[in-house]
Chains A and B, each alone.
Chain A
Amino acid sequence: MSGEVDTAPAAAADAARADSAGAQYQLEATGIEKRFGGIVALDGAELRVRRGTLAALIGPNGAGKSTLFNVITGVEAPDRGNVAVAGEEITGHSLSRVAASGVARTFQAPRGFASMTALDNLMVVPRAAGERLLTYLGPWGRSRRIVRERAEEVLARIGLQDHAGTRYEQLSVGQMRLLEIGRHLMRDVSLLLLDEPTSGVVPSQQQQLGMLLRDLRDEGMTILVVEHNLGFVMPLVASVSVMDRGRIIASGPPAAVQKDPTVIAAYLGGAAS
């Protein structure tokens, strides 16, 4: 239980610490169950991420990692279990409501606004003057300029300053993934959930991504990464949770988890099947 990410099979020990836990964990998902017809995707998954840390969630294909993300962010409703962010219950809230409470997520296949430029993809994010039907005729030019400056800063931060006018569709997959994170930097976010951020991304951009994530953590953001690319994720994170068949089977510092026999078995079993 000393790792940054804890799994707590013992509910009693858990309850004893519940009071302090709300304060120290940015994300707590407990007892999550989710079935799709006869398939059990999540079977009592427990995941906690300490505030201000970088953590990873790994596991073989089909382990339920993306489903767990979907349940946490309200894309899917859980059959059972609770999700809390910064001690506040958000179970069953819609994606936009979860997002409004400071949670950001990216998707396994990057998503964005295809008809817009990279800059507009960022500028659309903040709740701005003139964003409602009844205010659109009013003066929104000044607030728009402030948003634009902010968007240009974020573009520079994610290294896309030369692509401000590029249409989203014309960006590379790596640029799309960076822009997806960039959109969340345009708003107040305390928890960032990334679904396979390095897939389809060239090594130089992976390095840039790693640096960005470290910087964001240093600024106080809590980050959880689902990743297959262990070479990228292991040196980056303080703690790892391993998922298999809808459950968290191990968690702790990367070095310890990598030696865990259950983890090795799960990965070999996963590879064999």
Chain B
Amino acid sequence: MTYVLSVIALASVFSLLTLALNLHFGIAGLINFGIVAYFAIGAYTYAVLTQPPPSALDKYALGLELPSSVGVIGGIAMAVLFAALTGWPCLRLRTEYLALTTFAFAEVLHSVLLNTREIGNGTRGLSNILPPFYTTFPIEDYDLWVAGLMVAILLLATIAMQRLARSPFGATLRAIRDDELAAAAIAKPVARFRLEAFLAGAALAGFAGILFAWYTTLVSPDLFTANITFTAFIALVIGGVGSNYGALVGSFLLFGIQEAIRVVPLSDDAAQLLSSLRPVPFGLALILILRFRPQGLAGQWAV
């Protein structure tokens, strides 16, 4: 039961990240191959703002022990700030170049986190993060409450993103995605709309990062690699690019399968063999989807 709840919580976190990616890629047409950066910034900022000051063994410089609400706001704000800094030069670029530069920014951030102890304790990471509402939620049902909280946040975010996609703002973003020149010809300030979409998506990705920190109670550089970005892309393609519900369907399916495989009872030898084959079903699923249902499982709900 606890295990199922933890899978639900993790899948909710990744659904939130995939929703953010859907705003960037599915609705605004911005190929962001570095969305993990905004996810990591949210998580690290939350950790730094809320963790206790460093003890003798820790090498990190800052632990502000602020309330988690400040951590949440600060984490989102930092993700947006980083998006503004990276987005301003990147968004002038054409799609493929945007993909490359966002990827590069994420790698640079990863490298910085890995090599500077002052921010996040280097490779060891920060492990003093408290799970959310630790003293408020009843301890005996704590996992249930956390999973419920994550699902509730996900539902609110989905409603907000669905409203965005259907709003005049979302319509203009889709118009720019479909034909940038035609959008400019009807006087849409293309660069400004792109930047707004980029910032909004980064805010959501940063929020997802905070939830991830709640879930793991640990942030370290090896948790925030390009793997995260590509997991979100795979989930989005499986669910349906452009569809908010698809982001949820894809993420839950991906994590559901992954974790279901984990609990299958196996001999040690077989387990070792199979664990190295774990990426295979995802690759296979991706190929099958692209071949037989390129619009994704929930593609009919694309706005």
Using Cβ atoms and an 8 Å threshold, which residues of chain B touch A171? none
CA distance A114 to B164 in the complex (A): 20
Interface centre among B164, B179, B183, B186 (most CB of A within 10 A): B186
Q: Does A107 contact B (CB under 8 A)?
A: yes
Q: Mark A98-132, 1 if CB is under 8 A from B, else 0.
A: 01100011010001111110001001110011111
CA distance A129 to B171 in the complex (A): 12
CA distance A105 to B95 in the complex (A): 25
A113 touches B168 (CB 8 A): no
CA distance A176 to B181 in the complex (A): 15
Q: Mark B205-239, 1 if CB is under 8 A from A, else 0.
A: 00000000000000000000000000000000000
Using Cβ atoms and an 8 Å threshold, which residues of chain A touch B186? 99, 124-125, 183-184, 186-187
Q: Does A133 contact B (CB under 8 A)?
A: yes
Interface centre among A75, A129, A130, A135 (most CB of B within 10 A): A130
Q: Say which size band chain A's interface belongs to.
A: 35 or more
Using Cβ atoms and an 8 Å threshold, which residues of chain B touch A114? 178-179
Closest to B203 in A: A133
Q: How many residues of B contact A (CB 8 A)?
A: 29
Q: Mark B162-180, 1 if CB is under 8 A from A, else 0.
A: 0110011111101101110
Using Cβ atoms and an 8 Å threshold, which residues of chain A touch B242? 115
* Majority-rule SS of A interface residues: loop
Using Cβ atoms and an 8 Å threshold, which residues of chain B touch A128? 168
Q: Mark A206-239, 1 if CB is under 8 A from B, else 0.
A: 0000000000000000000000000000000000
B185 touches A136 (CB 8 A): no
A116 touches B178 (CB 8 A): yes
A113 touches B178 (CB 8 A): yes
Q: Does B62 contact A (CB under 8 A)?
A: no
| A-contacting 9-mer, from B129-137, B193-201, B274-282 | B193-201
Q: Mark A121-152, 1 if CB is under 8 A from B, else 0.
A: 00111001111110111001000100000000
Interface centre among B170, B175, B185, B199 (most CB of A within 10 A): B185
Q: Does A164 contact B (CB under 8 A)?
A: no
B181 touches A111 (CB 8 A): yes
Q: Does A94 contact B (CB under 8 A)?
A: yes
Using Cβ atoms and an 8 Å threshold, which residues of chain A touch B144? none
Contacts A112-B179, A114-B179, A116-B174 hold; do A133 and B185 have CB atoms under 8 A apart?
A: no
B174 touches A111 (CB 8 A): no
Closest to B190 in A: A96
B200 touches A133 (CB 8 A): yes
B184 contact from A94, A124, A133, A140, Cβ within 8 A? A94
CA distance A127 to B21 in the complex (A): 26
CB distance from A97 to the nearest CB of B (A): 8
Using Cβ atoms and an 8 Å threshold, which residues of chain B touch A135? 169
Q: Does B182 contact A (CB under 8 A)?
A: yes
B185 touches A104 (CB 8 A): yes
CB distance from A244 to the nearest CB of B (A): 27
A residues sitting closer than 8 Å to B (CB atoms) are 73, 75, 94-97, 99-100, 104-105, 107, 111-116, 120, 123-125, 128-133, 135-137, 140, 144, 180, 183-184, 186-187
12 extra A-B contacts, CB within 8 A, seeds A113-B175, A137-B160: A96-B183, A99-B184, A107-B181, A111-B179, A112-B179, A113-B179, A115-B178, A116-B171, A131-B169, A133-B199, A136-B170, A137-B164
